[in-house]
Amino acid sequence: MELKQLISLLRRWWWLLILGLILGAASGILINRMQTPVYQATAKIMVMRVPDGSALGLAYLGDQQLAQTFTELITIQPVLGEASSNLGFTIDPTQIKIQQNTNSQIIKVIVEDTDPQRSAKIANALVETAINHYVALQVGQYVSLEDDIQSQLNFLQARIFSLQSQISLTSEMIIKSQMEQIQSQMTPLQNEVSQLQKDIAQLTSVKTPQTVLIAEKQARLNQILPLLNAYQEVYSNLVVLKKPLDIGSVDENKLALLEKTLATYQQNYSDLMSKLVIFQESQKSGISNVTIIQDASVLVDPVRPQVLINVLLTTAVGFILAVVVVFMMENLDITMVFPKIIRKWFFLLQVQKKNHSANK
């Protein structure tokens, strides 16, 4: 189509194009008036993992995993039910939209409602309730694990006490037996030493001492005194230190096994106590931290309907329809498809068109 023809076409049908624009704009305004305004409120929270060397609770999860866990927690039924109960009305899950950036621990809780104040209340109530459930979930894990550790400690403590009693009785029995054995060895030596000392004293006190006999008795005395002293030292250690000699008897092997088992239980008890201390410290500090960085506020402007966009869209549609009608008027015989009165009107338009062409 040439420019001249286009200008001629616009001169004849400008009113129809303007009418299409007006009708389109009016339709958009009417549609906006018919729609109920929807308001949106957004609360922002940050989920972080507090550095902790233990693997208790949810500490083994990374920042992204913790954020994803909290994201899913917000929309579960217990959270929705408790939040609805606190607010006094039922929260529709379709009102809620959760957004989490891939490379961020910030979570957006977006709530849409026809009441701007109610949308903000729902968003804030959901965040608060979800945080309470999140904390309760971790506390529950702490309580369960702490009870398990305490149960193990009680069991080990009972076993340690029992082993200590067995060791004490076994040790006393072994010491008593060894003391009796040593005493049975010491008594003859003590008697012999006493007799030798008396004999040496008598032989020495006479006018003509028997030197050879004295020397023999002295040699015998020198021989048995070290042995007697050794027995006395061992006996003294048994009495004072209460520690039996290691001579490889059956009872001593039993005692060694009991002591080895006791050492194992004591080490396990010590390890569990250390774990419990770390656990309790973690429980105080928390293994993860949820922070509200932005409360949901009341917005006066609705997010839907979008008046300007709707009006522009319907105006464009009205203009396009007007262009289509003009095209049909100019190029197609559409008078057959309209009612009689409209066919007559179009006939008059066609006559006007021919007269206009003839005048040219």
pLDDT score recorded for residue 279: 67
271: exposed, middle or buried (Cβ count in 10 Å: 0-12, 13-18, 19+) = exposed
Please tell me the number of Cα atoms within 13 Å of 150 on its side-chain side.
Answer: 8
Band of the pLDDT at 6, cuts 50, 70, 90? confident
Rounded to whole angstroms, the Cα distance separating 60 from 190 reads 72
- For the segment 124-134, the average pLDDT, to the nearest whole number, is 87
pLDDT for 265-321, tens place per residue? 889 888 888 877 776 666 555 555 777 888 888 877 777 777 788 788 888 898 888
Q: Show the beta-strand stretches assigned E in 16-105.
A: 39-49, 96-100
Rounded to whole angstroms, the Cα distance separating 7 from 108 reads 54
Best mean pLDDT range from 16-30, 45-59, 198-212, 334-348? 16-30
Percent of the chain at pLDDT > 70 equals 79
Closest CA to 217 of 238, 241, 233, 201: 201
Query: Does position 116 have pLDDT exceeding 50, yes or no?
Result: yes
Instruction: Determine if the peptide bond prior to 226 is cis (ω within 30°).
Output: no
Residue type, 211: T
Closest CA to 258 of 153, 160, 157: 160
Left, alpha or beta for 288 (phi > 0: left; psi -120 to 50: alpha)? beta
Rounded to whole angstroms, the Cα distance separating 246 from 89 reads 80
Rounded to whole angstroms, the Cα distance separating 250 from 28 reads 103
Q: Packing angle between helix 3-34 and helix 307-331, nearest 10 degrees? A: 140
3-class state of residue 289 by DSSP: strand
On whether the pTM is more than 0.85, the answer is no
pLDDT score recorded for residue 350: 64
Rounded to whole angstroms, the Cα distance separating 280 from 267 reads 20
Mean pLDDT rounded to a whole number for the chain? 78
pLDDT score recorded for residue 60: 44
pLDDT score recorded for residue 344: 59
Band of the pLDDT at 133, cuts 50, 70, 90? confident
Go through 67-80 and write b for each residue having 16 or more CB atoms within 10 A of its CB, e for each that does not: beebbebbeeeebb
Locus of tokens 């917000």: 74
Band of the pLDDT at 180, cuts 50, 70, 90? confident
Q: What are the residues whose beta carbons fall under 8 Å from the beta carbon of 44, sequence distance 6 or more?
A: 106, 107, 108, 109, 292, 293, 294
**Range 39-148+284-294 has CATH code 3.30.70.1130:** yes
Domain ranges of the chain: 3-35+305-359, 39-148+284-294, 150-278
Comparison of pLDDT for 98 and 1, the residue scoring more: 98
pLDDT for 213-258, tens place per residue? 888 888 888 888 888 888 888 888 778 777 776 666 667 778 788 8
- Give whole-number Cα distances, 247 to 13, 175, 182, 253, 256, in Å: 125, 12, 13, 9, 12
2-11, 186-195, 251-260, 285-294 — which is least confidently predicted?
285-294
93: exposed, middle or buried (Cβ count in 10 Å: 0-12, 13-18, 19+) = exposed
Which residue blocks in 49-105 are alpha helix, DSSP H? 63-74, 77-87
User: Tokens for 181?
Assistant: 């054995």
Closest CA to 281 of 133, 134, 142: 142
pLDDT for 137-152, tens place per residue? 776 666 667 778 788 8
Band of the pLDDT at 28, cuts 50, 70, 90? confident
